Amino acid sequence: MFFILSKVLLYFIFPLTWVIVLAICSIVVKNTRRKKNLRIAAVVIFYLFSNNFLLNLFARAWDAPPVTLPVGSHYSCAIVLGGFTSADKNEQGYFNTAADRFIQGVKLYKQGIVSHVLITGGNGNIIPGAYHEGAWAGQQLAAMGLPPEAILVENNSRNTLENGAFTRQLLLDTHLAPPYILVTSAFHMRRSLMVFHREDLQVIPYPCNYTAGRYQLSVFDLIPGSEALNTWPYYIKEVIGYAVYWVKGK
C-alpha cells in the first residue's frame, strides 16, 4: 500500500501541476477577488519554481558534496542505485539523465578502487512490465568488460527502501566485507544514506549526477526557464521522501 500510495501522490508534487490547478480554479470560481488571488498565486508559484537562482541555492544546501577517496584505497563493492535507465514501449532499456550513476560505478571498478559492482533496481512501475533494470544494467556492465564474478545484480527492489533491504541480504550472501561505496545522484544521497544506515550497512557516500548548484550564481538565473521547472520535482520528491522515511523509521 505504501508503495502504491507513494507512486500516486508523486503526480501531485510537480509545481507545474499546482500552477495548472490554480489556473483552472481561477476560471471556475465566480468570486472576483478569489479569481484574482488564485491567478496571483499561480504566477508566483510559476516564477519561484522556474528560476535557476532559487533552485541552485537549494541544491547547494541539499546535495551531498563531492567525495575524493583516499589515494590507494580499495573496497569490496560499489553499490549503484538504480534509476539511471528507462524502458521504451518495447520493454527495451536505455540510459536516461541519471546515467552518471552507472558511469561512476564502472570507473570505480576500472580504476581498481572496487572489486565488485552491485546494481540494485527492479521495476518501480505500479503495473510492472517485463523490464527489470538490474538485469539490463548487468548486461551493460558485462559489455563494458567487467567479468561475471565482479557483477552483482539485485533485480527486485521497487524503491529506495527495498534497495537497502535487498542489497543487505545480497551482501550477506556474498560475504563481501564492508565498508562499501554507495553511488547515487547527489540529490538522492541523503535519503539513500538514511535507508542504508538503518539496514546496518557501512557505506561511504559517493555522490554523482549533479543536476544543479555546481556553477556560479548569476542574476540571469532569475529569468524563468523550463530547466528549473523540470528539476524542482526531483528535490521536492527527495525532501518529502526523506521526511516520510524519517517518520516511518525502519
Residue 194 sits in the same domain as residue 231: no
The total of structural domains in the chain comes to 2
Task: Report if residue 240 sits inside a domain.
Answer: yes
Task: Report if residue 14 sits inside a domain.
Answer: yes
- The CATH code of the domain that includes 127 is 3.40.50.620
Per-residue pLDDT reduced to its tens digit, 196-233: 999 999 999 999 999 998 878 788 888 898 999 999 99
Please name every residue paired with 153 in a beta bridge, in sequence order, or none if there are none: 119
Mean pLDDT of 135-140: 97
Residue 171 sits in the same domain as residue 201: yes
Is this prediction's pTM over 0.85?
yes
Residue 105 sits in the same domain as residue 174: yes
Distances (CA, A) of 162 to 169, 177, 199, 201, 249: 11, 21, 10, 13, 13
User: 147 is in which domain, residue-wise?
Assistant: 78-208
Residue 32 sits in the same domain as residue 113: no
Task: Report if residue 95 sits inside a domain.
Answer: yes
